[in-house]
A and B are shown apart, each in its own frame.
Chain A
C-alpha cells in the first residue's frame, strides 16, 4: 500500500501570499495518477489537479501542481479568501487509491 504524507499539517498565511503544499509518497507514483482536492467545511471535495499538473475544469490558474516520483507539490500563487480550506493529495495508480491526511490552509 502506498502511504501519502502531506506537509505541513496546517499552513497559516495571509490573503495574497503564496501557499506551497507538499505530498510525499512511500514509493514512486506515476505522475498521471496523482490528484489534488480542495474541501471546505460541510462540502464534498472538489478536484483541483489531476495528472500531477493538469488543472480540472473551472479551476483558476493560481492553482498549479508539480512533481514526479515520490514528491509532489500544490502551489497557490496568491491566496484568495475562498482558498482557505483543507487540501488532499491522492494516488490512483495502485489499490488502495490512498489519500494523504490533508493540509489545512488557514487565515493568518
Chain B
C-alpha cells in the first residue's frame, strides 16, 4: 500500500524548535518530489515547502523561509521538516504529500497525502 505517515508533532514553546518526519512506504520514494502543506485550525491549505527527488533542490513559502528546512534521506525513505524560531502562526496540522509529475517532469499535483501531524505553539 502506498503510504505516507507523519510524526514528530506536539506542543512547542514560542521561539522553540521541532523536527517533523514523514515515512514513506509502498513506492520508490527516491523517484518523487515531496511537499509539506499545513492547515491552521479552521483555515485553508497552505503550501510550505517542497524538495526534489534527490534532495538537491528545495523551495519554501516566504512565511517560513529562513526558519524551516526541508530535507530527505532516501536510504531511509523519510522526509523531514526542521522547524525553528516557531511562533503562534505556525500552529497547524502539517501534511506531507507526494508530488505527481507528468509531461516531461512537470509538477501537476499531489496524489498521496499523509494523515497529518499537529503542531501547537504555545507557552
Contacts and interface: CB of A to CB of B under 8 A. Distances in A.
Task: Pick the 4 closest A-B CB pairs, nearest first.
Answer: A50-B109, A35-B109, A44-B113, A92-B107
A97 B61 CA distance: 8
Contacts of A46: 113
A76 to B, nearest CB: 18
Interface of B: 35, 37, 44-47, 50, 59-62, 95, 97, 99-100, 102-103, 106-111, 113-116
B61 A32 contact: no
User: Mostly helix, strand, loop or mixed at chain B's interface?
Assistant: strand
A37 B108 contact: no
B95 A32 contact: no
Interface of A: 1, 30, 32-33, 35, 37, 39, 44-47, 49-51, 54, 56-57, 86, 88, 90, 92-93, 95-102
B45 A97 contact: no
Contacts of B116: 44
Given A35-B108, A44-B114, A47-B110, A99 B44 contact: yes
A14 to B, nearest CB: 25
Contact of B45 (A33, A51, A88): A88
A99 B47 contact: yes
Given A39-B45, A97-B35, 18 more contacts: A1-B62, A33-B108, A44-B116, A51-B103, A54-B102, A56-B100, A56-B109, A56-B111, A90-B47, A90-B109, A92-B99, A92-B108, A92-B109, A96-B59, A97-B47, A99-B37, A99-B44, A99-B46
A27 to B, nearest CB: 17
A88 B44 contact: yes
A50 B100 contact: yes
8 contacts: A33-B108, A35-B108, A51-B109, A54-B108, A56-B111, A92-B99, A101-B44, A102-B44
A30 to B, nearest CB: 8
A51 B61 CA distance: 22
Contacts of A54: 102, 108
